[in-house]
């Protein structure tokens, strides 16, 4: 396994120059140390601020601390198992507990920080406006409200975790939408595209989930299928059997695939070969003419927005993708990240299909996605280019969705003005 295959978190936590300089094992040790320290700080602070350790019985205190340390250690342990050991019920159990606890603590941490900021403002205002004796009189009331808030935070976070789990693992909605296209040829009116995105086959998304998605897509009987990246989280040998159902995807004009950022964390070149073996057409800054012979779509596909940082020849290039395409053909672009729309608009793209954002996936992460991407979910327009941002068919990391749902999109092309 190459250094680039050793998980995805290290790519997010360490600068590129360090990743390049460090040998694989040393890099992994540093990543796991940094990752564990971050989890310890986040989980520890959350627990310290929520649980009444000063008044807890020693036995309960030991249980609480043991559970917290257990959750912290499961984070790096899940990565070590994923890299070095074969898939097993034990590895699956470790991954499930690690990811669910991460989702729980990340939501709880946000609520705790908001509460602590509020308490800080209250304390500053009290010291400025009230006498010391009055502040002392209100101390018991303040403690009561803190305890009430702690119980509320725990209850809300548990509720959101359970709700989010069933939203991520339960029903996958079919998102049907009609997209008006200027100067759409008559032969393309009603042309349908089924879009899958961000399936993230890996530690908690396995063959059964993938087969369910394939059956749902095939039931739609689309004209073509688009897979817009982040298909996997793991190596080809580990996940080959879990992605195997994708070979059964069926449509009139075939299945077309572009890379997402997670393919590059998991070994992009082996995965491109595997995707081709599954019968998909891989578009690496290139296009195919798809549809009725008289007026086909110029279907372009580009590598992930960040791909050039991993493989120089994979630098994302919408201009190159449409080189040689017929003048006047309707241009549709498959691009994993929405931010590719700015370059796509310069190439006369009528519609860009993207994913990457998961629609925010769950609170509070959804608050920060707009800082990184121009569009988070749904159909939008930039200049003369429309862009549809898919909320994802799977999920990444915690099996939690709050405020958004897993989807398979069925896009129908209609003439503008109809």
The answer on 149 and 187 residing in a single domain is: no
Domain-ending residue, one of 119, 135, 167: 167
Which structural domain, as residue segments, surrounds residue 208? Answer: 172-415
Inter-residue contact 231 to 202 (CB < 8 Å): no
pLDDT surpassing 60 at residue 1: no
**β-bridge pairing 351-354 and 331-334:** parallel
**β-bridge pairing 407-415 and 192-196:** antiparallel
List pLDDT tens digits, range 32-59: 899 999 999 999 999 999 998 878 888 9
Higher pLDDT, 418 or 79: 79
The answer on 7 and 86 residing in a single domain is: yes
Closest C-alpha to 292, from 329, 248, 347, 250: 329
Distance CA(178)–CA(44), nearest Å, equals 48
Helix (H, G, I), strand (E, B) or coil at 15: coil
The answer on 74 and 190 residing in a single domain is: no
The answer on 182 and 115 residing in a single domain is: no
Residue 198 belongs to a domain with what CATH number?
3.60.21.10
Residue 383, classified by CB atoms within 10 Å of its CB into exposed (0-12), middle (13-18) or buried (19+), is exposed
pLDDT surpassing 80 at residue 82: no
The answer on 220 and 113 residing in a single domain is: no
For the record, the structure tokens of 243 come out as 């992605």
The answer on 278 and 138 residing in a single domain is: no
Average pLDDT over residues 197-216: 97
The answer on 157 and 114 residing in a single domain is: yes
List pLDDT tens digits, range 277-318: 999 999 999 999 999 999 999 999 999 999 999 999 999 999
| Helix, strand, coil content of the chain in percent (nearest 5) | 55, 15, 30
Closest C-alpha to 304, from 386, 198, 195: 198
The answer on 190 and 45 residing in a single domain is: no
User: How many domains would you assign to the chain?
Assistant: 2
For the record, the structure tokens of 1 come out as 């396994």
The answer on 332 and 304 residing in a single domain is: yes
Domain-ending residue, one of 167, 184, 205: 167
Model pTM score: 0.88
What pLDDT was estimated at residue 13?
44
The answer on 159 and 184 residing in a single domain is: no
Cα dihedral 382, 366, 242, 171 sign: negative
In percent, how much of the chain has pLDDT > 90? 76
The answer on 394 and 373 residing in a single domain is: yes
List pLDDT tens digits, range 183-192: 999 999 999 9
pLDDT surpassing 80 at residue 62: yes
List pLDDT tens digits, range 102-142: 999 999 999 999 999 999 998 888 888 877 877 777 787 88
Domain-ending residue, one of 144, 167, 190: 167
* Sheet of strand 297-301: strand arrangement: 286-290, 297-301, 331-334, 351-354, 385-389, 378-382
What pLDDT was estimated at residue 28?
76
The answer on 182 and 163 residing in a single domain is: no
Inter-residue contact 164 to 366 (CB < 8 Å): no
What pLDDT was estimated at residue 161?
97
List pLDDT tens digits, range 139-196: 878 888 889 999 999 999 999 999 999 999 999 999 999 999 999 999 999 999 999 9
């Amino acid at each position: 396994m190459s250094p680039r295959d050793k998980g995805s978190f290290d790519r997010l936590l360490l600068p590129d120059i360090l990743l390049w300089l460090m040998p694989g094992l040393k890099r992994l040790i540093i990543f796991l140390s940094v990752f564990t320290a971050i989890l310890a700080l986040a989980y520890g602070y959350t627990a310290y601020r929520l649980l009444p350790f000063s008044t807890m019985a020693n036995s309960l205190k030991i249980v609480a601390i043991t559970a917290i340390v257990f959750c912290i250690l499961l984070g790096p342990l899940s990565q070590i198992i994923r890299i070095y050991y074969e898939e097993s019920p034990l590895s699956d159990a470790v991954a499930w507990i690690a990811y669910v606890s991460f989702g729980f603590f990340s939501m709880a941490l946000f609520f705790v920080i908001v509460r602590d900021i509020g308490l800080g403002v209250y304390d500053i205002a009290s010291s400025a406006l009230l006498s010391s004796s009055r502040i002392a009189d209100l101390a018991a009331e303040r403690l009561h409200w803190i305890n009430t808030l702690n119980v509320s935070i725990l209850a809300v976070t548990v509720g959101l975790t359970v709700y989010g789990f069933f939203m991520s693992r339960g029903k996958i909605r079919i998102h049907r939408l009609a997209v008006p296209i200027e100067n759409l040829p008559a032969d393309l009116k009603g042309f349908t595209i089924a879009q899958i995105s961000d399936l993230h086959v890996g530690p908690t998304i396995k063959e059964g989930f993938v087969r369910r998605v394939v059956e749902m897509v095939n039931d739609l009987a689309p004209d073509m299928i688009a897979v817009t990246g982040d298909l996997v989280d793991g190596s080809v040998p580990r996940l080959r059997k879990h992605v195997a159902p994708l070979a059964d995807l069926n449509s009139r004009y075939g299945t077309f695939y572009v890379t997402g950022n997670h393919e590059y964390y998991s070994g992009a070149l082996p995965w491109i070969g595997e995707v081709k073996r599954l019968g998909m057409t891989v578009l690496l800054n290139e296009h195919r003419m798809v549809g009725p012979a008289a007026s086909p779509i110029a279907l372009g596909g580009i590598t992930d927005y960040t791909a050039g940082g991993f493989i120089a020849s994979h630098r994302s290039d919408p201009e190159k993708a449409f080189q040689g395409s017929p003048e006047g053909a309707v241009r549709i672009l498959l691009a994993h990240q929405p931010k590719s729309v700015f370059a796509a608009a310069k190439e006369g793209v009528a519609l860009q299909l993207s994913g990457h954002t998961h629609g925010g996936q769950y609170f509070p992460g959804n608050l920060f996605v707009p800082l990184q991407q121009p569009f988070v979910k749904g159909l939008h327009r930039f200049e003369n280019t429309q862009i549809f941002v898919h909320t994802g068919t799977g999920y990444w990391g915690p099996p939690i969705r709050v405020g958004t749902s897993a989807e398979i999109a069925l896009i129908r092309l209609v003439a503008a003005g109809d």
